[in-house]
A and B are shown apart, each in its own frame.
Chain A
């Protein structure tokens, strides 16, 4: 892993440590409060704080997961080189697109 990937992995991990905690706490709060899907969408709709928080969350995942997968693949298989990096870059883009699609959908709903 190059120094840049290492740095991205560590910083995204720090972001995720906070983001996942907030995310889980929010889920627990929503479930225990008995909120319906409509109630939740009413709270997220047009909520810039929600939008920014989950955008950061998605970006951190898009960095963190492919770098981790790259490490796992390099350790457990002989797959190396540009083809591996290209596939994992595609995974990063896919995570970013799918994640942001969900965030935007809930934001504008």
Chain B
């Protein structure tokens, strides 16, 4: 369907607000981000939303589209619209709404820090480059989880985050898992302790919403399962409290 008008309901306001209806011309190969941009440029310049790269690299344009969290720049209207050709756009769930479709990502990224989702170098620089053969299991495990763009779709989809605001969440734990598999990293004990807290990896219920919705086809559920396994053996050895 490329003719006619698309009925678009867009969330306006912050935590409190209402849906505003727009009618947007239907175009060929139109993405959901195209629709939002057209509304903002042609109909209502006060509409706030966030985007940067438009090609699925930056992770800034995620929204809830017809109930599903998605990256809007790589989501065509044809695959997201309802049978009646309507779109309902909301800000990501589990985030504080700043305005309209813009959410506050601060808590989301604070949790990456809390999960030690960063490289911890050794006290002294290594004498030479670390050789990490691509075929090693650790490197392959890291590879499987490394392409995260930090869009927040998994965090928006996660049931556990919805009922426990302190849960570290799939993205932060996925990042931690890539570093658990980094043979150069010198902060492993502290990282496992960080992801083992009362709001850590053990809270995951394996609902797999993160894995189902991740636009990069990453499986944070498997990363979290890996953390649980690492934690189990580490705890058995008495390595973490």
Q: Which of A55-73 contact B (CB under 8 A)?
A: 71
Identify which of A1, A3, A71 contacts B193 (C-beta below 8 A).
A3
Contact A6 B196 (CB under 8 A): yes
Residues from chain A with a CB closer than 8 A to the CB of B232 are 6-7, 10
Residues from chain B with a CB closer than 8 A to the CB of A7 are 232, 235-236
Across the interface, name the chain A residue whose C-beta is closest to B192: A3
Docked complex Cα distance between A31 and B142 (Å): 53
Given A6-B196, A75-B164, A76-B163: A1 touches B235 (CB 8 Å cut-off):
no
Residues from chain A with a CB closer than 8 A to the CB of B231 are 3, 6
Q: Give a binary string over B223-241; 1 marks a CB under 8 Å from any A CB, 0 the rest.
A: 0000010011011100011
B81 lies within 8 A of chain A by Cβ: no
Identify which of B164, B234, B241 contacts A2 (C-beta below 8 A).
B241
B206 lies within 8 A of chain A by Cβ: no
Across the interface, name the chain A residue whose C-beta is closest to B159: A75
Docked complex Cα distance between A104 and B147 (Å): 58
B residues with a Cβ closer than 8 A to A are: 160, 163-164, 192-193, 196-198, 200, 202-203, 228, 231-232, 234-236, 240-241
- Taking the nearest CB of chain B, how far is it from the CB of A73, in angstroms? 12
Residues from chain B with a CB closer than 8 A to the CB of A75 are 160, 163-164, 203
Q: List 5 A-B contacts (CB under 8 A).
A: A3-B196, A3-B234, A6-B231, A74-B164, A75-B203
Contact A4 B241 (CB under 8 A): yes
- Taking the nearest CB of chain B, how far is it from the CB of A68, in angstroms? 12
For chain A, the bracket of interface size reads: 10 to 19
- Taking the nearest CB of chain A, how far is it from the CB of B241, in angstroms? 6
- Taking the nearest CB of chain B, how far is it from the CB of A15, in angstroms? 15
- B contacts with A: majority SS: helix
Docked complex Cα distance between A71 and B201 (Å): 13
Q: Give a binary string over A66-107; 1 marks a CB under 8 Å from any B CB, 0 the rest.
A: 000001001110000000000000000000000000000000
Docked complex Cα distance between A3 and B241 (Å): 6
Contact A2 B163 (CB under 8 A): no
Docked complex Cα distance between A10 and B234 (Å): 13
Docked complex Cα distance between A76 and B164 (Å): 8
Docked complex Cα distance between A1 and B235 (Å): 12
Given A74-B164, A75-B163, A76-B163: A2 touches B236 (CB 8 Å cut-off):
no
Docked complex Cα distance between A48 and B228 (Å): 37
Docked complex Cα distance between A10 and B231 (Å): 11
- Taking the nearest CB of chain B, how far is it from the CB of A62, in angstroms? 19
Docked complex Cα distance between A6 and B241 (Å): 10
Across the A-B interface, give the 9 residue pairs with the lowest CB-CB distance, nearest first. A3-B235, A7-B235, A3-B240, A3-B196, A1-B202, A6-B202, A1-B198, A3-B231, A75-B163
Residues from chain B with a CB closer than 8 A to the CB of A3 are 192-193, 196, 231, 234-235, 240-241
Docked complex Cα distance between A74 and B197 (Å): 13
